[in-house]
């Protein structure tokens, strides 16, 4: 009987140690997986933000071409192109034509035209949290990531 009792104690302690080791290994793997995940999230978010910035830049380039086409059409028809009092800084029918031609999801504002009033020198395009500025001379696009730090409302 003494030998069986000692074997049962050994088996029981072995099973307890085995369960304890499995739990320890499982928790170690979980902690390591969470650590890797937490370490990878900022990098993944930066890559995603960069991809979104590239999309906004591509849309701004499409917008520039649509603005060129609309200004040429307005000039050829003898209609005004720019209107600082109208939405986007262009005449109403021009604004509609630019949106239809470019199919951009954001909003734009023509900031400056040349002396003729038909050639766009500067504009700003905003899409989500990204703002793209365009300058004709020297040809440059700049993409900004916009994050609101302070927001106020009429009730504040």
Residue 8 has pLDDT above 70, yes or no: no
Residue 7 has pLDDT above 80, yes or no: no
SS (HEC) of 112-153: EECCCCCCEEEEEEEECCEEEEEECCCCEEEEEECCCCCCCC
What is the residue-averaged pLDDT of the chain?
Answer: 85
Backbone angles phi, psi at 80, to 5 degrees: -70, 150
* Model confidence pLDDT, tens digit, residues 63-108: 999 999 999 999 999 999 988 889 999 998 899 899 999 999 999 9
Give the confidence band of 2 by pLDDT, cuts at 50, 70, 90: very low
Termini Cα distance of the chain: 83
Nearest to 121 by CA among 131, 108, 110: 110
* Model confidence pLDDT, tens digit, residues 25-78: 899 999 888 888 888 788 888 888 889 999 999 999 999 999 999 999 999 999
Q: pLDDT at position 102, please?
A: 92
Q: Which residues pair with 134 in a beta bridge?
A: 123, 141
């Amino acid at each position: 009987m003494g030998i069986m009792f000692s074997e049962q104690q050994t088996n029981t302690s072995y099973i307890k140690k085995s369960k304890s080791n499995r739990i320890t290994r499982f928790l170690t793997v979980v902690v390591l997986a969470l650590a890797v995940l937490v370490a990878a999230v900022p990098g993944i978010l930066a890559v995603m933000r960069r991809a979104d910035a590239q999309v906004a830049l591509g849309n701004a380039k499409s917008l520039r071409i649509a603005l060129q086409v609309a200004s040429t059409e307005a000039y050829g028809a003898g209609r005004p192109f720019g209107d600082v009092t109208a939405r986007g800084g262009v005449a109403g029918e021009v604004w509609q034509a630019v949106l239809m031609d470019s199919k951009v999801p954001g909003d734009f504002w023509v900031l400056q035209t040349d002396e003729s009033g038909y050639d766009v020198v500067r504009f700003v395009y905003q899409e989500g949290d990204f703002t793209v500025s365009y300058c004709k001379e020297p040809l440059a696009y700049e993409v900004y990531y916009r994050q609101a730090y302070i927001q106020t409302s009429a009730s504040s």
